């Protein structure tokens, strides 16, 4: 297991914003203490961004002309977002070489669509460029089929928009729905399979549903699995909990590993005090096979 990371992602912040550098720093410290192997993240090229995003949107981020209620137009955010996307690409490349990898970077990305806000969402949801989508499009230069599993408690509307009706990609998402941002993912459509929860479900129901979702992925028989790894489904998350225990993340990692496919994961959300433990547990489960 390799952790792709750059301390540069800790340099920017918006006072009072839940997507803070401290959450990633605390996870970084724990993973270092536990002896995981780290790889340096490098920024992606602008051409990589244009594989999934419109030039108009990329230019808006680049020129600091992005106006979004919860996704701040911070100085230098274009470079930080390129670094996060590049980290996802590096994680994918490590996975294709046969090792599991996790991009421990910010900003997250799964809400960012082709032109920014995706599928009618009211905001960008803390995301600038869709890191996992960029990595997957790059991966399709080398493999035939990719499954994307989104375990963030918010629907990955940007990822769904980007890959909708793409026969080479299966998108599967487990998330809160009903009065919850981004308000999408209530039904499955084509190659986008959604498992919405309308209430806090806890471990047992979530893991039962995940088994069904992983059966979908098994039938698709992908060459590569990409995980949008959000940890805001944890029971103590202040933003959008699904009532999961920290131990459930070990099981989630193991269940994904049981598919015995080349796999990488990219950080999305997760804002609670036990976020670092959830990350470590997930990676421990994922690495055991």
Q: Which residues are tagged catalytic?
A: 111
DSSP string, 177-222: -SSSTT---SS-BTTEEEEEESS--HHHHHHHHHHHHHHHHHHH--
Sheet of 262-267: strands edge to edge? 37-40, 2-5, 101-103, 262-267, 224-229, 146-150, 169-176, 192-197
CA distances from 241 to 37, 77, 99, 279 (A): 30, 28, 31, 15
Find the angle CA(46)-CA(48)-CA(53) to the nearest 5 degrees. 85
CA pair distance 109, 229, nearest whole angstrom:
11
CA pair distance 67, 163, nearest whole angstrom:
25
Look up residue 276 and give its two tokens: 């670092």
The answer to whether residues 268 and 229 touch, using CB atoms and an 8 Å cutoff, is yes
**End-to-end alpha-carbon separation of the chain, Å?**
11
């Amino acid at each position: 297991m390799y952790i792709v990371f750059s301390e540069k992602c800790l340099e920017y912040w918006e006072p009072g914003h839940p997507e803070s550098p401290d959450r990633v720093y605390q996870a970084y410290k724990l993973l270092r203490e536990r002896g995981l192997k780290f790889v340096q993240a490098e920024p992606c090229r602008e051409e990589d961004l244009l594989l999934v995003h419109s030039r108009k949107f990329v230019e808006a981020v680049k020129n600091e002309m992005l106006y979004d209620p919860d996704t701040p137009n911070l100085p230098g955010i274009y470079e930080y977002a390129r670094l996060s996307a590049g980290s996802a690409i590096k994680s994918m490349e490590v996975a294709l070489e046969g090792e599991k990898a996790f991009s421990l970077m910010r900003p997250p990305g799964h809400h960012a669509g082709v032109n920014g806000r995706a599928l009618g969402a009211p905001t960008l949801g803390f995301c600038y460029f869709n890191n996992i989508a960029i990595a997957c499009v790059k991966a399709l230069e080398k493999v035939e089929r990719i499954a994307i599993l989104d375990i963030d408690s918010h629907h990955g509307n940007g990822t769904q928009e980007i890959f909708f009706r793409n026969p080479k990609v299966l998108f599967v998402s487990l998330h809160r729905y009903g009065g919850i941002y981004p308000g999408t993912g209530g039904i499955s459509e084509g190659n986008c399979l959604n498992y919405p929860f309308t209430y806090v479900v806890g471990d047992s129901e979530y893991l039962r549903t995940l088994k069904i979702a992983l059966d979908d992925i098994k039938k698709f028989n992908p060459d590569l699995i990409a995980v949008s790894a959000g940890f805001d489904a944890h029971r103590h998350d202040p933003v959008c909990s699904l009532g999961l225990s920290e131990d459930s993340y070990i099981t989630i990692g193991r269940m994904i590993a049981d598919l015995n496919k080349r796999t990488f994961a990219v950080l999305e959300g997760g804002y609670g005090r036990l976020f670092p433990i959830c990350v470590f547990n997930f990676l421990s489960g994922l690495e055991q096979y």
